[in-house]
Amino acid sequence: MKHFPENLSAKLEIRKQHNALRKLPLSSKKIDFSSNDYLGLSQSEIIFEETHQYLITNEITQNGATGSRLLSGNHKIYQETEGFIAKFHKSESALIFNSGYDANLGFFGSVPQKGDLILYDELCHASIRDGIQLSNAKAYKFNHNDFEDLEKLILRNPNTIIYIVTESVFSMDGDCPNLEELVSVSTKHNCYLVVDEAHALGVFGSTGEGFVQMLGLQDHVFARIMTFGKGLGCHGAAILGSVELRDYLINFARSFIYTTGLSPHSVATILVAYQHLKQDSDSILKLRENIISFNQQKNMLGLKPLFVRSKSAIQSAIIPGNEKVKTIANKLQEKGFDVKAILSPTVPEGQERLRFCLHSYNSHEEISEVLRLLSTFVFMGRG
């Protein structure tokens, strides 16, 4: 085999020296505090069986899409599913992409034009940043959830088409922006607001419809990106917006045009999962109870100063240093709890953290025990 390039080997070596080398984990039987399966829908036998029955009833036995949606891959389930999603989210239209990453690449790589301006929260996800890099528009970040800083940037760029970009739940901190204030700023300056709702779907709202819709702000948002691999427990994503936006993306979003579509089974799973979300509120209520319980118990144990303030399913305890945070994560895993350390450079140096993901299926006893152990390991380390 040809010798591996020395400059690439050097980059791997640097990661090893900083204790930051990524490796693929094996599947775990530990108590889950790490996955994005907030409602446990990925494990639902009901959704599995109903998806199978849907395919049988509709005489669909095709395994693959066979091509891009613009060629041969636009099978009939797409139309029904996108129609259901649009109605569920009170949107004019929905367009399904193969993943949230593809949706962000497609949107930001095609919609903002040369001469336009993108202003994005400094903590926006890598997929948004990668999409922005594909754009011909200029882009500047604003301080996290700081709309005074945002407005200064807007005022420096008069007579410009501006896209303001944020997330309704930030993936590493778990916090939420003040969306009412952000809508007010974007409306005042006639900007186009784009909200990634990847970690809000299934978590916020009476039927898990997301943060924007829970606040009744959907008519003030130019585009919402809904990702299905988290709260919905399956795969894919959709961009919600006007019919004109949908038409534009079909014609210009390269990550949509030049890729094979999802299989009929994948799209049917999305449809059935959405139907389940609409019909079953028990899991959403249980998740909400667990979020409240986690926040109450971390306060009782004196752990509040460690955590980023969050009312979402993502709870992050800042423990600076890759070595230190990995050590505590390993101790929790040895006790049977699957809690992951998030290391730099994924987060800035000094912002390394333990990221707890809460689920409807976590018990109050599990929450109490994992926080008790965290308290023991953290305060013991300070002694």
Report CA torsion sign: 355, 360, 365, 366: negative
Burial (CB count within 10 angstroms: exposed 0-12, middle 13-18, buried 19+), residue 148: exposed
In sequence order, which residues have a C-beta less than 8 Å from that of residue 207 and are 6 or more positions away?
88, 277, 278, 281, 284
Going by C-beta distance under 8 Å and a sequence separation of 6 or more, which residues neighbour residue 221? 183, 193, 194, 195, 212
Residue type, 286: K
> pLDDT class for 383, splitting at 50, 70, 90?
very low
Query: Measuring CA to CA, which residue among 285, 294, 349 is closest to residue 316?
Result: 294
Q: Report how far residue 113's alpha carbon sits from residue 92's, in angstroms, rounded to the nearest whole number.
A: 23
Average pLDDT, the chain: 96
The pTM of this model reads 0.95
Provide the β-strand partners of residue 186: none
Q: How far apart are the first and last CA of the chain?
A: 51
- Angle at 194 (CA atoms; ends 91, 121), nearest 5 degrees: 155
Sequence-separated (6 or more) residues with CB below 8 Å from residue 374 = 301, 303, 317, 328, 332, 354
Q: What is the pLDDT of residues 4-33, one digit of tens each?
A: 999 999 999 999 998 889 899 887 789 999
pLDDT, tens only, 111-148: 999 999 999 999 999 999 999 999 999 999 999 999 99
Amino acid at 337: F
Give CA–CA dist 150/261, Å, rounded.
37
pLDDT tens column, 344-353 = 998 999 999 9
User: What pLDDT shows up at residue 25?
Assistant: 83
Is 60 exceeded by the pLDDT of residue 380? yes
**Using CA atoms, how far apart are residues 295 and 367, in angstroms rounded to an integer?**
10
Beta strand pairing call for 237-241 and 223-227: antiparallel
CA dihedral 246, 248, 252, 258 (to 10 degrees): 30
Quick one: what percent of the chain has pLDDT higher than 70? Answer: 99
Question: Which residues are registered as beta bridge partners of 140?
Answer: 119
Give pLDDT tens digits for 208-264: 999 999 999 999 999 999 999 999 999 999 999 999 999 999 999 999 999 999 999
Distance CA 321, CA 324 (A): 5
Res 371: pLDDT: 98
pLDDT band, very low/low/confident/very high, at 80 (cuts 50, 70, 90):
very high
Res 281 pLDDT > 70: yes
236-256 burial, b for 16+ CB within 10 Å, e for fewer? bbbbbbeeebbebbeeebebb
3-state SS class at 180: helix
Task: Determine the pLDDT at residue 298.
Answer: 96
Distance between CA atoms of 11 and 9, rounded to whole angstroms?
5
Structure tokens of 210?
């997301």
Alpha-carbon distance 122 to 165, whole Å?
Answer: 10
* Cα(115)–Cα(136) distance, integer angstroms: 8
Distance of alpha carbon 107 from alpha carbon 102, whole angstroms: 8
Q: In the prediction, which pLDDT does 20 show?
A: 85
Predicted confidence (pLDDT) at residue 382 exceeds the cutoff of 60: no
Cis status, amide bond into 345, omega within 30 of 0: yes
For residue 214, the model assigns a pLDDT of 98
Residue 379, pLDDT score: 85
Per-residue pLDDT reduced to its tens digit, 291-341: 999 999 999 999 999 999 999 999 999 999 999 999 999 999 999 999 999
Q: pLDDT at position 116, please?
A: 98
